[in-house]
Structure 1
Amino acid sequence: MPHRETSKRRRPSLSMPILRTSRAQHKAGNLTLGTLLAGLGERSFGWAIVVFSLLTLLPLPPGSSLVTALPVLFTTAQMMVGFPHVRLPGPVARVKIDQQKLRRTLLGLRPVTRRLENTLRPRLVAIFAPRHEPLLGLALFIIAFALFLPIPGSGWFPAISLFVVGVGLVERDGVVTVLGLAFGAFSVFLTVAILMSLANGAEAMIG
C-alpha cells in the first residue's frame, strides 16, 4: 500500500507537458497552436482537444467562443470522418497563444486535474479502437458545437467535458473518457434548455 501511494504522488502532472512545451516555445518566440501540438507529440487528437478546450477557457471577451471553438469543431470533425491524425490548416496552426494566460488557466484547473491524476490508467481501451473513432468524433463534435454557440453561462460545461475526454484519449483511460462524454451530454442538454428558454422569452416579448 505505501508503495502504491508513493507511485501515485510521483505521477507526472497532466499540465506539465503543456506548461513545459509552451514555456520553451514562448522563450524561443514561436508559441503557436501548431508548434505546441507538434511539441506534445503522439496521440494528436487527445492533445488537440485538451489544448483547444483550454483555449476556450482563457479569459477572453464575451462571444469569443465563436472563434476559439472553431479549432475544436475542426478537430472533432476530422476524427468523425476518420482522419488518422489532426491536420491543422495554416491559419489555425499559426494562431499565437498567450503563454501566461495558458499557464493561469491550467493552474485554475488544478482541482479538476488533481482528481484525474489520481485515477488515470489504461482502462476500457476497446472504446479507442479505430472502428469506434467516427462515433466518438460525432459525440465530441456535438459537444463542441454546444461550446461554439455564444450562450451566456453555458460555455464552461462543454469546455470542461471536452478537456476531460481529451485527457482520457491521451491516457487511453476509457472510464474517464466515458465520464467526460456523460458530462458533455449534460452540457448539451443544458445548452438546449437555455436556447429553448431564450426562444420562449423572445416569443413572449413579440407576442
Structure 2
Amino acid sequence: MTVGADDTNSETAAAGQTRGARGATKILSDILSDLKIAAEEPPVTPDQEPTAHLGAVVDRLDERAFGFLLLMLALPCCLPFVYLLPQIVALPMLALAGQMAAGSHHPWLPKKLHDRDFSIPAFEGVIDRADKYIGWVERFSKPRLLFVTSHLGSRIVGFLMLIPIVSILIPLPSTNTAPGIGIAVASLGLIERDGVLVILGLLFGFAWVFLLLFLGQEAISLIKAWLGMGA
C-alpha cells in the first residue's frame, strides 16, 4: 500500500507533537545522552570529557529545529553568574534568529559553527539546572495563536529575537540572564506552537533590554552631573 504525502505529513506532525509533549528539555537530554554514548566509543580517557559537534544536534532534530536549537543555546544564558559561555552561544543564536527572519525552513550553520565542539557533561548540567525552571512553563503550554508560529510569524519572531540576543553579547553583569529567559520561553513557544509563550518571552526580553537602556542613560546622566559639580 502506498502512503500518500498527506498521510506522511500527518505522521510527521503527530510525531512532532509527541516529541513536544515529552518536554523540550527532556528531548535535548536524550539527544545529549545518545551523543555521549557515541563519543565514548572508543572509550575516552578518565581526564577527557566527551564532546560533540553542534551540527550533530541539528542533524537529530525535527522540523522544529530552530526552536530546539535556540532553547539549547539560551539555557546557559538563563543562569546567573555564568560568564563567557553566554557570549559564545549568542553568536550562533544570532545566526539562527537571522535565518528565521530571512524565511529559512531549517537551520543552516557555517562549517566553523557546525563543527564546533562542546562539552556534553557541561551542557547536561546546564539542562538539569534549567529544567526545574523551564519544566513548569512546559506544563502550561499548548497550541494557540498559531499565526504567531506560522512561517510568516516565525520570520517576525526571528527579527524581534535579534534585539535581546544582542544584549546577551554585552559582557556585563545582568545583561544575559533576563534576555536568555525571554529567548528560552519564546523558543518553547515555537516548539509547542504556543503563540502566547512566544509573545510573553519576547515581551520579557524586550522589557529587560529597555530597562537596561533606561538605567544606563540615568547612570550616564548622574556621572555627568557629578563631574559637572566637581568642576
Q: TM-score range by the shorter chain?
A: 0.7 to 0.9
Deviation, 1:165, is 0.6
Unaligned stretches of 5+ residues in structure 1: 1-10
Partner Cα separation in structure 1 for residue 82 and residue 197 of structure 2: 31
Q: Spell out, residue by residue over 1:10-66, the C-alpha distance to the aligned partner (whole angstroms, 9 max, x if none).
A: x52331111111111122126221101221222121112111212445788634433
Q: What SS is found at the alignment partner of 2:52? A: coil
State which of 119, 122, 125 in structure 2 corresponds to 1:98: 119
Match of 2:47 in 1: none
Aligned-partner residue type, residue 47 of structure 1: F
Aligned-partner residue type, residue 175 of structure 2: S
State which of 25, 35, 41 in structure 1 corresponds to 2:35: 25
Partner Cα separation in structure 1 for residue 85 and residue 226 of structure 2: 27
Counting only pairs closer than 5 Å after superposition, residues 107-146 of structure 1 correspond to structure 2 as 107-146=128-167
Residues 112 and 60 (structure 1 numbering): CA distance in 2 closer, same or farther, change over 3 Å?
closer
Partner Cα separation in structure 1 for residue 143 and residue 83 of structure 2: 38
Match of 1:15 in 2: 25
Q: What SS is found at the alignment partner of 1:41? A: coil
Residues 60 and 35 (structure 1 numbering): CA distance in 2 closer, same or farther, change over 3 Å?
farther
Residues 205 and 181 (structure 1 numbering): CA distance in 2 closer, same or farther, change over 3 Å?
same
Partner Cα separation in structure 1 for residue 89 and residue 152 of structure 2: 29
Contact residue 58 and residue 101 of structure 1 kept, 8 A: no
Contact residue 57 and residue 105 of structure 1 kept, 8 A: no
Match of 1:53 in 2: 74
Contact residue 168 and residue 176 of structure 2 kept, 8 A: yes
* Aligned residue pair count: 197
Deviation, 1:206, is 6.1
Deviation, 1:142, is 1.0
State which of 181, 196, 199 in structure 1 corresponds to 2:202: 181
Contact residue 63 and residue 106 of structure 2 kept, 8 A: no
Counting only pairs closer than 5 Å after superposition, residues 63-82 of structure 1 correspond to structure 2 as 63-82=84-103
Match of 1:4 in 2: none
Aligned-partner residue type, residue 68 of structure 2: W
Q: What SS is found at the alignment partner of 2:58? A: helix
Output the TM-score relative to the length of structure 1: 0.84
Aligned-partner residue type, residue 19 of structure 1: S
Output the TM-score relative to the length of structure 2: 0.76
Match of 2:105 in 1: 84
Of 51-60 and 38-47, more deviation after overlay is shown by: 51-60
Considering only aligned residues, what root-mean-square deviation do their CA atoms show, in Å?
A: 2.3
Please state if 1:43 is matched with 2:53: no
Match of 1:164 in 2: 185
Q: Find the structure with the greater CA-based Rg.
A: 2
Partner Cα separation in structure 2 for residue 206 and residue 95 of structure 1: 47
Of 88-97 and 184-193, more deviation after overlay is shown by: 184-193
Partner Cα separation in structure 1 for residue 101 and residue 215 of structure 2: 27
Aligned-partner residue type, residue 206 of structure 2: A
Residues 64 and 115 (structure 1 numbering): CA distance in 2 closer, same or farther, change over 3 Å?
closer
Q: Percent identity?
A: 25
Contact residue 77 and residue 181 of structure 2 kept, 8 A: no
